[in-house]
Amino acid sequence: DIFNTIMTHFDKAQVTQDLTGQHWVITAGPTMEAIDPVRFISNHSSGKMGYALATAAIARGATVTLISGPVQITAPAGAKIIAVKSADEMLAACQQSMITQADVFIGAAAVADFKMKAACDQKMKKQSDTDEITLTLVKNPDIIATLAQQKRAKTLVGFAAETQNVIEYAKSKLERKGLDIIIANDVSRADIGFNQDDNQVTVITKDKTWSPDKTTKNALAGQLVEFINEYALQTSIS
């Protein structure tokens, strides 16, 4: 059973170099969608989870490309960092990084669902006779669904940050986007998730649901990298 195998591995303290020769591509942080030259729409993602995953994969020997939105945290030593702002830029950087199929893609970035239909070249002026304005937004590309469709990585792992019906939404996301694994968390809880050092998630595959204990993002990252690697091994055997 894959879950027991993984739990056994967690007991081992030493970090093996079993990901040597593998290319993992990880996105992290928020995206920033321009409204005009000074304003933007973004979100509260700190990038900590994605950076911790990159660190954990590097520790086990993987070559890691970390495609990161604007964050205020230190880059993991040894990662190839590609800094991006918008979702469009992030998708382009992902595709460019996976011209050769990667082993694992983890979409840990909090990608904006929407961008401005037309960003303004000049700062929008507040008119004294206007009490309301409307911003028309259009859908951003669905980065991980696009990468899944194009088979850019052997194993694709997504995140689902939700505030309600967390598991239900995550399962629907797994199927709809053609992912292997989805990691769901409840961002309505103040003690975990966005901008916190701790996280508690539920890991969902087609067959299984696993909820590791609440722990630091760094410790959780090690468990998730282990899980993803075991999943990939099982999948390639069966």
Q: Please select the residue that binds a second copy; options are 13, 99, 133, 237, rule is CB under 8 A.
A: 133
* Angstrom distances, CA of residue 178 to CA of 121, 145, 165: 37, 7, 20
Number of chain residues interacting with a second copy (CB under 8 A): 41
Q: Does 126 bind a second copy (CB under 8 A)?
A: yes
Per CB under 8 A, which of residues 59..98 are in contact with a second copy?
72
Shortest Å, Cβ 42 to a second copy: 6
CB of 157 to a second copy, least distance (A): 20
Based on the shown chain and the rule CB under 8 A, indicate whether residue 42 belongs to the binding site for a second copy.
yes
Q: Considering only residues 162 through 221, tell me which ones interact with a second copy, judged by CB under 8 A.
A: 162-164, 169, 176, 187-188, 194
Min dist CB 209 to a second copy, Å, is 21
Q: Which residues, 6 or more positions from 138, have their beta carbon under 8 angstroms from its beta carbon?
A: 114, 115, 116, 117
Q: 199: how many CB neighbours lie within 10 A of its CB? A: 25
**Binding span for a second copy by CB under 8 A among 3-11, 12-20, 136-144, 150-158:** 136-144
Q: How far apart are CA 211 and CA 186, in angstroms?
A: 12
Cα–Cα nearest to 110, from 155, 164, 167, 46:
46
* Under rule CB under 8 A, residue 13 binds a second copy: no
Whether residue 144 contacts residue 113, with contact meaning beta carbons closer than 8 Å, is answered with: no
Pairing of strands 215-216, 198-199: antiparallel
Give contact residues for a second copy (rule: CB under 8 A).
35, 37-45, 72, 110, 112-114, 117, 122-126, 128, 130-139, 161-164, 169, 176, 187-188, 194
Residues annotated catalytic, as ranges = 43
